[in-house]
Structure 1
Amino acid sequence: MQLISKAKNWAKSLKRDIVALWLAARDARVPWYAKAVAGAVAAYALSPVDLIPDFIPVLGYLDDLVIVPLGILLATRLVPPDLMSELREEAARRIERPSGRSGLIFILAVWLICLIFLVLAVRRLV
């Protein structure tokens, strides 16, 4: 049970750090090279596209278990420590805050538009 608790805490800290890196990539106080690395790591971690597709046995999860944490480690070390601490606090606040309905409505609208285009494309073929 202790191992599961540690794994959950580690996963929460990764999620917080990804949001903090996303914030760092947009913060004027962060050096340009740290912004570039932080933005790339956050974009890759949040992207549905993987370097190694998940359907490949064992290797598919390699990026999620190794590449992303190493990228987070590198990016967090490039951001000044006091600033990274501040960004982590802000990220924790944003994660705890309930998300609005506007995001949900936007995602549903995008899916609905995609579905409509798919139906129209299929009707043209038939």
Structure 2
Amino acid sequence: MAIFQSIKLWASRIKRDAVTLWFAYRHPGTPWFAKALAAFVVAYALSPIDLIPDFIPILGYVDDALLLPALIWLNIRLIPAAVLEECRAQADKWMKEQGTKPQSIAGAVIIVGIWLGLGAALWAWFNRHG
């Protein structure tokens, strides 16, 4: 049973750190390169739409299980310790008061844009080679 508790704790930390990056993106003490990565990570992490839908076998969970945690881990390492501590406190407070993470409409729009772009590129490719 300990493994399930470890996984649950890890998942809650990932969720909290996604919200932490949401606050870090707006914090004046966050370096510009960490803000740039945080903007992408937050838009994707808080988007209600996945880049790779979960119904696609194996690949559907790769972004949730590997890609997103790796990007969050990297981004957290780029933020100064004092800023990170302050933003984590804000994230904990937000999640306690709101009961959930915020949602990113911009992230959903970006994901839909990527899918539409891929669809248009495939359509153009098949029209040329078909």
- Match of residue 35 from structure 1: 35
- Contact (CA 8 Å) 2:27, 2:83: kept in 1 or not? no
1:46 corresponds to 2:46? yes
Distance 1:73 1:98, change over 3 A: closer
TM-score, with normalisation over the residues of structure 1?
0.73
Query: Offset of 1:44 from its aligned partner?
Result: 0.4
Tell me, in whole angstroms, the C-alpha distance in 2 between the residues paired with 1:22 and 1:98: 15
Three-state SS of the structure 2 residue aligned to 1:28 is coil
Residue identity over aligned pairs, in percent, reads 47
What aligned pairs does 1:65-84 form with structure 2 within 5 A after superposition? 65-84=65-84
TM-score, with normalisation over the residues of structure 2?
0.71
Instruction: Show structure 1 runs of 4+ deviating over 2 A.
Output: 48-51
- Match of residue 13 from structure 1: 13
Which runs of 5 or more structure 2 residues have no equivalent in the other structure? 100-130
- Match of residue 23 from structure 1: 23
Three-state SS of the structure 1 residue aligned to 2:54 is coil
- Structure with greater Cα Rg: 1
- Match of residue 85 from structure 1: 85
- Match of residue 57 from structure 1: 57
Which runs of 5 or more structure 1 residues have no equivalent in the other structure? 100-126
Question: What is the number of residues matched between the two proteins?
Answer: 99
Distance 1:44 1:98, change over 3 A: closer
Query: Offset of 1:61 from its aligned partner?
Result: 0.7
Query: Offset of 1:50 from its aligned partner?
Result: 2.3
Query: Offset of 1:98 from its aligned partner?
Result: 3.9
